[in-house]
Amino acid sequence: MGIMPNQYPVIWQAISWWMEMRLLKPAKLYLLTGYSKDRIERGIREMTEPLTSDFLHACVDVFGLRNSRQRGIEDTADVLTDEECIRLLIAPLTRPPRQGNLWD
């Protein structure tokens, strides 16, 4: 099915969130994924930059996300479909906020 243009804002928001969590700058993500630094910066800023399947798979690998279809640590995201990569990337955004207990 591929990546639909209406999914770009949500995916870019998720990529931006993962970059904050992993303390990655666009230049570092560019080095790790091979995707254009300008396109990464524009995607984070405007949320409308087109995404490629290769970039999604590279982001899943860079952020260390795993799926049950990946047998072991040596499996890369190449075994995943685009939809599975998107689900892995946006998963933290769809979870409810963490509820603390009395000791937090």
- CATH number of the domain bearing residue 25: 1.10.260.40
Q: Distance between CA 11 and CA 50 in Å, rounded?
A: 10
The pLDDT of residue 101: 59
- Give tens-digit pLDDT for 34-67: 999 999 999 999 988 999 999 999 999 899 887 6
Evaluate whether residue 100 is within a structural domain: no
The mean pLDDT value for 4-25 works out to 92
Closest CA to 8 of 45, 55, 58, 43: 43
Residue with tokens 């970039």: 55
Token match 């990655």: residue?
Answer: 24
More confident residue, 74 or 59: 59
What tokens does 68 get?
């049950």
Assigned domain for 99 exists: no
- The whole domain housing 62 covers 5-93
Please report whether residue 101 resides in a domain.
no
Q: Is 18 exposed, middle or buried (0-12, 13-18, 19+ CB in 10 A)?
A: buried
